[in-house]
Structure 1
Amino acid sequence: MKLQDGRLRVDDHARDTAGLTYVYPVVSRRAGGVSVGINLNPNNACNWRCVYCQVPDLQRGGPPPIDLRQLETELVAMLDDVVHGDFMRERVSEGARRLNDIAFSGNGEPTMSAAFPEAVALVGRVMARFGLTGKIKLVLITNGSQLYKPAVQQAIAAMAGLGGEVWYKLDRAPQDGFSAVNQVQLKASAVREHLAAASSRCPTWLQTCMFAIDGALPDKAVQDAYLDYLASLCASGVTLQGVLLYGLARPSMQIEAPRLSAAPGEWMQALAARIEGLGLSVRLSL
């Protein structure tokens, strides 16, 4: 639900706040301001099904064909309102009136779209039109599953020239089997290869969500496996900017929702300290 005065909230990232198909604004706790989202999955389809996902009616699959002309029209209109109009004053609380980034996120995996490379180029042109190149970030929030594709790798390299960052989902250490958190099969070597492909082309952060299931937090074995995997990534030459460590701020829309609860702040801070002990920067969002 929105506030009665129509202001955006950090605990509500609904994609329909602007009444558009592909473009939506949010106030992001991780971004630290306003993020203009690009949704290439308006059909609520993704190749993963993370148990904490806030997308309603999520289904397995890929995105529909993207109308790039409509995407550009929507993005130009949104940025015109944010940069030149009354958007910040009318929709954003005073302390968050800062345009931080344009982010490929949305209701599914952005890189599943065949139009992703063209969309990156399109966003680059619009950023230049508004004088935003070099002033704000262009972010890709991804599960990394498509990073074996040359077209996706080339698009990520192009993002680097636009002040880009990759936020790569890694919620638990891949164990060469089924991930209960992400509801997919993962292989440690493939994740490492995809991370290497991303980080060698564009600054890359890991994005990790921690929470309790049925009241139980990830135990020592799960934490140790995660930390050992981070250490192995660094030892193998994968260059990471750090870890975006966050908890549950918005309710899951998946069937597991009643079983999930937020991790205590002290627990999250202790894990952040262990990650920092590996020599990695941590941005913690509770």
Structure 2
Amino acid sequence: MISKTLLQVVDHSRDSAGCVYVYPVVSRRAGGVSVGINLNPNNACNWRCVYCQVPDLSRGGAPELNLDLMEAELHQLLQDIVQGDFMQSRVPLEAQRLNDVAFSGNGEPTSSLQFLSCVERVIAVLRHFDLVGKIKLVLITNGSQLDRRQVQTALSLMKNCGGEVWFKLDRAPMDGFSQVNQISLKRSQVTRRLLLAAKHCPTWIQTCMFEMDGALPSELQLQGYLDFLQECMAEGALLEGVLLYGLARPSMQPEASRLAAAPALWMQELARRITGLGLEVKLSL
């Protein structure tokens, strides 16, 4: 039985629908209801972002998935949303619109070896409810698996259904260790993967900015981030824009006490600078 608890922006609980893989949220960035597909119910990810809200996060990839169950859960939830009273009973009045189905959740979705099959099944359910082209199909990703052919194929399928990629880029990638994402990176790898994402599907940059240990990102870090965006565009990345956001929910990582939201005026100024590159910015404080 699906809970009747009212959904809130500050709560993105993965079990809010009583399902294993599917969960509804009110998304500030989406501006309505987003139906999440959690392909990492084992709370495992190949990154460990310091602001991550997933409890008991561990290193690893997605487990073997029960695709029949995932498809059935999505079908039931969309039926409740499209044909039932879900919006009236669960969603605040100002957010009562279905915006998207998003591959998101408790880890990196594309780490699943079944990712392509998941995309195919989700598209089939969207077709059943005549939602293809009417709502978005979104992949929220750190981009780490974009070199894999099945991921590229999946992105091409998403593009044909009006899908888009949200590609995580919190700071300019440097050759070495990322303090924010707790992962070793090569700048050339990130550039290549971002170019691949934009080639196969409309792609937004997704950037989280915040204070850490009482300090905001330095001017050197900000200029490096802006320069990297400009370099990727010069190399042919046709980016849709930047989804710039701050901390809305508490981190569940050991660094939580060291983090704080960036001031609104600071975020607005950064948004202005990104716009100066010729990119659309959607700012969520």
TM-score, reference length from structure 2? 0.98
- Indicate the residue corresponding to 1:58 in structure 2: 57
Question: 2 CA distance for matches of 1:80 and 1:139?
Answer: 19
Structure 1 residue runs of 5 or longer lacking an equivalent are none
- Asked if residue 284 in structure 1 is aligned to residue 283 in structure 2, the reply is yes
The question of 1:172 aligning with 2:171 is answered: yes
Moved >3 Å (runs of 4+): none
In structure 1, C-alpha distance between the alignment counterparts of 2:209 and 2:26, rounded to whole Å: 21
Q: Deviations over 1:191-240 (max 9, x none)?
A: 11001111011000000000000110001011011011111111111110
CA–CA distance in structure 1, aligned partners of residues 118 and 62 of structure 2: 13
Q: Which residue of 2 aligns with 1:128?
A: 127
Amino acid at match of 1:218: P
* Separation (CA, whole Å) in 2 of partners of 1:84 and 1:215: 48
Separation in structure 1 between the aligned mates of residue 4 and residue 71 of structure 2, nearest angstrom:
28
AA in 1 matched with 2:86: F
**Identity among equivalent pairs (%):** 64
1:1-286 to 2 correspondences below 5 Å: 6-286=5-285
SS of the equivalent of 2:126 reads helix
Cα deviation, residue 5, structure 1: 7.2
1:103-147 alpha-carbon deviations (Å, 9 max, x no partner): 000100000001110000001100000010110000000000000
Structure 1: which amino acid aligns with 2:253?
Answer: Q
Calculate the aligned-residue CA RMSD, in Å. 0.9
**Cα distance in 2, alignment partners of residues 188 and 62 from structure 1:** 22
> How many pairs are equivalent?
283
Distance in 2 between residues matched to 1:145 and 1:189, nearest whole Å: 12
Letter in 2 for 1:77: Q
Q: Which runs of no fewer than 5 residues in structure 2 stay unpaired?
A: none
Q: Which amino acid aligns with 1:57?
A: D
In structure 1, the residue corresponding to 2:205 is in which secondary structure? strand
Aligned to 1:15, the other structure's residue is in SS state: coil
Q: Distance in 2 between matches of 1:238 and 1:207?
A: 15
Partner deviation per Cα, 1:63-113 (whole Å, 9 max, x = no partner): 110000000110000000010011100000000000000000010000000
TM-score under structure 1 normalisation?
0.98
1:130-179 deviations in Å (ceiling 9; x for gaps): 01011000000000000000111001111001110000000000011100
Partner secondary structure for residue 8 of structure 2: coil
Q: What is the letter of the counterpart of residue 220 of structure 1?
A: E
What's the secondary structure of 1:138's corresponding residue?
A: strand
